[in-house]
Structure 1
Amino acid sequence: MEESISKTDVLSKRSKFAYSIGNVLNDITTSMWFSYILLFYNRVVTLTNVSAGYLLLIGQIADALSTIFVALTCDRTRTGLFHHGKRKTWHLIGVICVLISFPFLFNLCIGCQHSKLWVKFIYYAVFIIIYQFGWVCSHVVHLAMINELTHIEGERVALNSYRIAWTFVSNVFLFTMASILLGLSATSDQSSITPADAPLFLKLTFFAVGFGLICMIIFHIGLKESNQTTEEREYHSKLISTSNRKLKQMTWKSFLCEKEFYQCAFIWVCARVVLIVTVAFLPLYIIDTISRLDRIFIGVAPLCACLSGLLTSFSMRAVNERLGRNLTNIIGYGLALVGMILLWFIIDIKSKVEIEIALISTCILLGIGASTTGICSITLASDLIGLNTECGAFVYGVMSFLDKIANGIIIAIVQQFNPCKLSSTQTCASYYRCIVTLIPGGFSMLAILMILSMWKTNLGGNRYEIIQEEQCEMEMKTKVDYNERSPLVD
């Protein structure tokens, strides 16, 4: 049995590399989206805090609804276009949508710069919806391919680790370019962002899209999609069956009836909320709460987090094997909590140099925590799916749906009650201080409690049904005759 699985499931280095960069365009654009969208719409486009929050919420709702549509439709798709594979076809559609929409999100309203607020709102909302649909097509499909490319747990952990590693590589590139552009830009205000910085954000957008496009070309040329037929998938199920057990075929309704599905989804959502809320409000925290640092730190701070996260991702496979996934996940949330505590007290430091050191140290901890919890949450979902790849896109889709809705609502509420204007005030400083510490900290503690509640849970291990002796004989005969019959299927 081991030989039968290992021959097809151990991926080549080329395939691993091609797969690992398949989500880079999504990674780099979504990082820019969450890191700078509120800052750009409020300080450059001069929309109100509430309008900026609702634009982000529209994007999250569009993302969530698209996720369910793509997840269900992709799983039911039989073939791809031009012999490209059904998963990669959906992925390509997503790439095209992202490429044609994202540059408009970080540009001034073309032909409507001086129009009324509602005109600008609709203009950006249209491109946001197109972008989010494309992002979902690529994201959900890329995740679903993990369980189809390999059934070996170690290989899946490795693919997740490489995927997360390239997420951090993308972010390192983005924030390095942001730091360079911010450092080279000539402006009278070195501690804030103004409408005069619009060309800076447009340049950063083209750098991000160009880098992502190169990676997408390599992905589509370098990775061959797994195209198992129905009979081949059934044969694989027989291989992992024992003499009196058979793997159950799952439907999306079957997954919804499992308690573990909701536990994994909750941990997934907590990991995403901790990451997204921190990323979205960290630039505003630096500008309005700390206020004494050069604005280049809105690029340097997340860059430090990405570098630490990148280095952490390389060790995740070994750490998971030594400590176990649950303990590793708890350590990740623990480091995130330490980072939140440091963010709370940074504002009380008097020396500017000490503030810079404290901020960078905090971002390093947050990067390690985000990398750890991100990899563990995705791997939990992968373990939940296990060998039931027939509903892989649905599982990842629902979890993405929940995290998009949760993050969208949280950020919209935060912006609804945001007291900050274009200039920093003491009230504004205290507000962002609470947002970047209390919300992520609370979700980190909830995630730890959920992990403890499912400590001994065997994910996907109870999907076997007992079969009768007559069926056993038929299964054994099927295994023997498979190689002789399989050519006739074609």
Structure 2
Amino acid sequence: MDDIESCTRPLGRGSVFCYGVGHMLNDVTAACWFTYLLVFLTDIGLPPRDAATIMLSGQIADGFATIFSGELIDRFGHFKICHIAGSVLVAISFSSVFGVCVPCKIFKTDSATMETVGYSIFAAIFNVGWAATQVSHMSMVNCMTLNPTSRVALASCRNAFTMVANLSLFAVALAVFNLSKPKTPVDIENQYRWIAYLSILIGCCFVGIFLVGTKEPRLRQEIEGKSLHRISWKDWFKKVLYYQVALVYMLTRLVTNVSQALLAFYVINDLQMAQSSKAIVPAIIYIFSFVVSVILQEMKWTGQRIKAFFTAGGILWIFSGAGIFLLPSSLHNLMYLLSVIIGVANALMTVTGISMQSVLVGEDINGSAFVYGSLSFLDKVSCGIALYVIESYQGVITTRDNLVLY
């Protein structure tokens, strides 16, 4: 009982920090995935629908791998082993997603079909590793502490370093875009490859800090020593709160991920801004997301406060979306102001959305990985389908009117 009671005490800043950086490799590669993958694939000559097919294959693989990883963790534990295995897959396969088409080299063909298949394979492998890392990292929160404020602090720190990861990516991208002036399609491909390779290097450094500074959670084993009862996945489906949190989390990820994936196209094609804006505008968003996340990390949280802050973030996004829809290209500088509002809205929605999952799990930690896995499944598949539909629509416009509108 003394060990269990000790888990209700607030965690130290060092423990929170080491945990928070453990998702950096996932975050920096995900930022690159959603921000630049579609741009990279269309720049190398793939039609928008084929590019969206590659992303969809990765999202579907991610969704199913998320559920599978959650089930494995709930049965066997070993969070850090799953995290290490996923990180290795991410580091190896992501370099191939932005690399050359391996099957094209093997079969000596550059057809669009073979490129689509080749990139889809590595996109699926990357997302399987990404899912294993994500589920193991997120489900650790409820097994590290029973203190509700510490749980929110862990989620906030994780989200804050998500912002750091994104800022790192956009700093690298801005440097690459400014230092290299592409003259051929090959030069453009190399730009995105350098961004991807440097992203992997940055992420791996922080994964090392996580592995050294974070211990395998003991709370799970201590509670299992007193009760071997495991929460069945069927029991979660009987809870109304499960569906409420699932809907909130899925819509939050749809808003943040889909907008991020199409933002580069919007600022270049619609607003006619400079190429550097592909890095500057997202960077502004994540700077303000980071600041707000740090502020939220220091707050005392209740259920009512979580709902209030999530609602505020949703309202800010509604106004931002209306502004983006109505903004003329002649006033494109206002996009920087909208970026500030989007950053604040993203932080409010993401931190509270993730915290709602901890509230849902509560002390039922024996089934926590299934909750995180199943909700992430909805997130991945819905984002993949949404982007595929949007890009397929763009493909129709391209063939009919001979131009691409994003």
| Match of residue 91 from structure 2 | 99
- The correspondence of residues 58-457 of structure 1 with structure 2, limited to 5 A, is 58-77=57-76, 86-110=78-102, 112=105, 115-187=110-182, 194-228=185-219, 232-233=223-224, 250-291=231-272, 293-317=273-297, 321=301, 324-347=305-328, 350=330, 354-356=331-333, 358-418=334-394, 419=396, 421=398, 428-429=404-405, 432=406
Q: Counterpart of 1:40 in structure 2: which amino acid? A: F
Q: Counterpart of 1:186 in structure 2: which amino acid? A: K
* CA 126–229 in structure 1, closer or farther in 2 if over 3 Å, else same: closer
Distance in 2 (alpha carbons) for counterparts of 1:71 and 1:258: 19
| Structure 1 residues 216-253: Cα deviation after superposition (integer angstroms, max 9, x where no partner) | 11111111111346564465x8xxxxxxxxxx963211
Question: Helix, strand or coil for the counterpart of 1:335?
Answer: helix
**TM-score, normalised by the number of residues in structure 2:** 0.92
* CA 187–130 in structure 1, closer or farther in 2 if over 3 Å, else same: closer
Farther-moved stretch of structure 1 (224-233 vs 272-281)? 224-233
RMSD: 2.3
| Match of residue 26 from structure 2 | 26
**Greater relative contact order structure (CA < 8 Å, 6+ sep):** 2
Larger radius of gyration: 1
Distance in 2 (alpha carbons) for counterparts of 1:207 and 1:102: 11
* CA 428–72 in structure 1, closer or farther in 2 if over 3 Å, else same: same
Distance in 2 (alpha carbons) for counterparts of 1:53 and 1:276: 14
Distance in 2 (alpha carbons) for counterparts of 1:319 and 1:74: 30
Does the CA contact (< 8 Å) of 1:165 and 1:313 recur in 2? Answer: yes
Q: Counterpart of 1:336 in structure 2: which amino acid? A: W
* CA 185–346 in structure 1, closer or farther in 2 if over 3 Å, else same: farther
| Structure 1 residues 173-224: Cα deviation after superposition (integer angstroms, max 9, x where no partner) | 10011112112222469xxxx5531111111111100000101111111111
Distance in 2 (alpha carbons) for counterparts of 1:18 and 1:319: 20
Q: Counterpart of 2:28 in structure 1: which amino acid? A: I
Q: Counterpart of 1:277 in structure 2: which amino acid? A: V
Q: Counterpart of 2:76 in structure 1: which amino acid? A: T
Does the CA contact (< 8 Å) of 2:93 and 2:125 recur in 1? Answer: yes
Offset, 1:15: 1.6
Question: Helix, strand or coil for the counterpart of 1:414?
Answer: helix
Question: Helix, strand or coil for the counterpart of 2:280?
Answer: helix
Distance in 2 (alpha carbons) for counterparts of 1:277 and 1:13: 33
Q: Counterpart of 1:386 in structure 2: which amino acid? A: G
Offset, 1:7: 5.5
Q: Counterpart of 1:219 in structure 2: which amino acid? A: F
Q: Going by fraction, where is helix more abundant, 1 or 2? A: 2
Q: Counterpart of 2:294 in structure 1: which amino acid? A: F
Q: Counterpart of 2:218 in structure 1: which amino acid? A: N
* CA 420–297 in structure 1, closer or farther in 2 if over 3 Å, else same: farther
| Structure 1 residues 370-424: Cα deviation after superposition (integer angstroms, max 9, x where no partner) | 11111111100110000000011100000000111111111111111114549x9
Offset, 1:75: 1.0
Distance in 1 (alpha carbons) for counterparts of 2:340 and 2:31: 17
Structure 1, unpaired ranges of 5+: 79-85, 238-247, 433-490
Distance in 1 (alpha carbons) for counterparts of 2:312 and 2:202: 33
State the percentage of identical aligned residues.
27
| Match of residue 48 from structure 1 | 47
| Structure 1 residues 466-486: Cα deviation after superposition (integer angstroms, max 9, x where no partner) | xxxxxxxxxxxxxxxxxxxxx
* CA 46–420 in structure 1, closer or farther in 2 if over 3 Å, else same: farther
Does the CA contact (< 8 Å) of 1:108 and 1:198 recur in 2? Answer: no
Does the CA contact (< 8 Å) of 1:289 and 1:428 recur in 2? Answer: no
**TM-score, normalised by the number of residues in structure 1:** 0.77
Offset, 1:108: 3.2
Offset, 1:13: 2.5
Q: Counterpart of 2:204 in structure 1: which amino acid? A: L
Q: Counterpart of 1:141 in structure 2: which amino acid? A: S
Offset, 1:5: 2.2
Distance in 2 (alpha carbons) for counterparts of 1:365 and 1:420: 31
Q: How many residues align structurally?
A: 399
Q: Counterpart of 2:84 in structure 1: which amino acid? A: L
| Match of residue 35 from structure 1 | 35
Distance in 2 (alpha carbons) for counterparts of 1:337 and 1:261: 25
Structure 2, unpaired ranges of 5+: none
Offset, 1:25: 0.2
Offset, 1:10: 2.9
| Structure 1 residues 305-334: Cα deviation after superposition (integer angstroms, max 9, x where no partner) | 000000000111456648711110000011
